């Protein structure tokens, strides 16, 4: 049995829905296709998936990650944009909105991104673990709304807490970028929270938010507190809220908690549009920290002098 996909549906969610209609599990289907090492659709599976589902290969190609290397950096092409693969996909620990599954019966393509922790339609934090067994949501579960233990995701008692207005505005803006030709009339309202994000790409905007949320140090701290090697949707939502609050404070001329003044966010936003990598920003901040603490080695040359100029106003 074949069924046409929805426009806002993800590739992995569509295949999971299609396989459940035919009474075939994901592991069984992968074994039949001799692709046992793959758990989620990849760019190399585009022709195979399009042949199985009976739809165009362009639909899968737009929704499946295509990794490549540019200037010795790993990047991924997905949804028509370029992303850093370090924080791209939820991968084997997926997230869902119980209300969207109950109303639409599909997995939206925005749920594949770590940068999308809140449903922009219902304004609630996405669910990334089963309430019964406590395990993360696997892409190999029996059905779109059923966990491997038999737990039902779309139950009314699975609804999560409401998100902050700034994070919801961010996810509305992100959804509009991914579905730019959807004719969405509503405004995201993101610019009042963070005007520095104007003109930035989704990947560049997310990197800028992460930088002002505390950078890699804040994310590692959340991982330590969680006691697991991945961040939950609640933790990502909290970090994004912190980054947006810092950007909002910096736009008003206030000093942020990470020591960046009012002029720096705009320079960082310009670099985000150009595609500065997270590694460059981390190295620049570490070099500036060593300089302030007097820990620079004698005759040592800065590794990223152009990126350090962004932090020149740090005292």
| pLDDT averaged over every residue in the chain | 75
Q: pLDDT higher for 6 or 265? A: 6
pLDDT band at 279 (very low <50, low <70, confident <90, very high): low
Whole-angstrom distance, CA of residue 137 vs CA of residue 148: 9
How distant is the alpha carbon of residue 303 from its chain centre? 28
Q: Within 13 Å, how many C-alpha atoms sit on residue 294's CB side?
A: 0
Residues 153, 172 contacting (CB under 8 angstroms): no
Q: Within 13 Å, how many C-alpha atoms sit on residue 118's CB side?
A: 26
Per-residue pLDDT, 36:
46
- Of 14, 111, 101, the closest CA to residue 55 belongs to 14
Whole-angstrom distance, CA of residue 197 vs CA of residue 105: 33
pLDDT band at 281 (very low <50, low <70, confident <90, very high): low
Per-residue pLDDT, 301:
45
Residue-wise pLDDT tens digits, 87-117: 678 877 889 999 999 889 899 999 999 999 9
pLDDT band at 197 (very low <50, low <70, confident <90, very high): confident
Burial annotation 287-308 (CB, 10 A radius, 16+ → b, else e): bbeeeeeeeeeeeeeeebeebb
Per-residue pLDDT, 258:
45
Confidence (pTM): 0.77
Whole-angstrom distance, CA of residue 233 vs CA of residue 276: 25
Residue-wise pLDDT tens digits, 119-178: 999 999 999 888 888 888 888 888 888 888 888 887 766 666 788 899 999 999 999 989
Residue-wise pLDDT tens digits, 224-269: 888 777 889 999 999 999 989 988 887 776 555 444 444 455 555 5
Q: For the CA atoms of the chain, what is the radius of gyration?
A: 21
The position carrying tokens 């949804």 is 79
Q: How many of the other CB atoms lie within 10 Å of CB of 283?
A: 16
3-state helix/strand/coil string of the chain: CCCCCCCCECHHHHHHHHHHHCCCCHHHHHHHCCCCCCCCCCHHHHHHHHHHHCCCHHHHHHHCCEEEEECCEEEEEECCEEEEHHHCECCCCECECHHHHHHHCCCEHHHHECCCCECCCCCEECECECCCCCCEECCCCCECCECCCCCECCCHHHCCCECCHHHHHHHHHHHHHHCHHHCCCCCCCCCCCCHHHCCCCHHHHHHHHHHHCCHHHHHHHHHHHHCCCCCCHHHHHHHHHHHHHHHHHHHCCCCCCCCCCCCHHHHHHHHHHHCCCHHHHHHHHHHHHHHHHCCCCCCCCCCCHHHHHHHCCCC
Per-residue pLDDT, 310:
46
Per-residue pLDDT, 308:
46
The residues that bridge with 75 in the sheet, in sequence order, are 68, 84
């Amino acid at each position: 049995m074949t069924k046409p996909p929805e426009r806002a549906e993800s590739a992995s969610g569509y295949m999971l829905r299609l396989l459940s209609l035919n009474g075939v599990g994901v592991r069984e289907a992968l074994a039949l296709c001799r692709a046992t090492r793959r758990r989620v659709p990849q760019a190399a599976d585009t022709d195979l998936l399009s042949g199985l589902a009976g739809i165009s290969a362009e639909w899968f190609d737009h929704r499946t990650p295509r990794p490549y290397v540019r200037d010795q950096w790993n990047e991924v092409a997905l949804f028509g944009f370029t992303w850093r693969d370090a924080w791209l996909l939820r991968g084997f620990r997926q997230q869902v909105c119980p209300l969207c599954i109950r109303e639409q019966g599909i997995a939206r393509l925005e749920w594949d991104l770590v940068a999308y922790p809140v449903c922009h339609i219902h304004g609630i934090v996405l669910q990334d673990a089963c309430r019964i067994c406590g395990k993360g949501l696997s892409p190999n579960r029996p059905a779109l709304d059923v966990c491997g233990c038999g737990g039902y995701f779309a139950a009314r008692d699975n609804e999560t807490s409401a998100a902050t207005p700034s994070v919801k505005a961010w996810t509305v803006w992100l959804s509009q970028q991914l579905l730019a030709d959807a004719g969405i009339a509503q405004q995201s309202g993101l610019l009042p929270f963070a005007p520095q994000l104007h003109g930035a790409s989704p990947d560049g905007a997310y990197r800028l938010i992460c930088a002002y949320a505390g950078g890699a140090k804040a994310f590692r701290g959340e991982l330590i507190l969680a006691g697991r090697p991945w961040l939950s949707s609640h933790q990502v939502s909290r970090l994004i809220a912190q980054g947006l609050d810092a950007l909002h404070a910096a736009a008003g001329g206030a000093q942020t908690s990470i020591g960046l003044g009012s002029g720096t966010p705009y320079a960082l936003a310009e670099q985000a549009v150009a595609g500065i990598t997270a590694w460059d920003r981390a190295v620049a901040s570490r070099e500036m920290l060593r300089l302030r603490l007097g820990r620079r080695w004698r005759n040592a040359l800065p590794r990223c002098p152009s990126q350090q100029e962004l932090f020149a106003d740090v005292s």
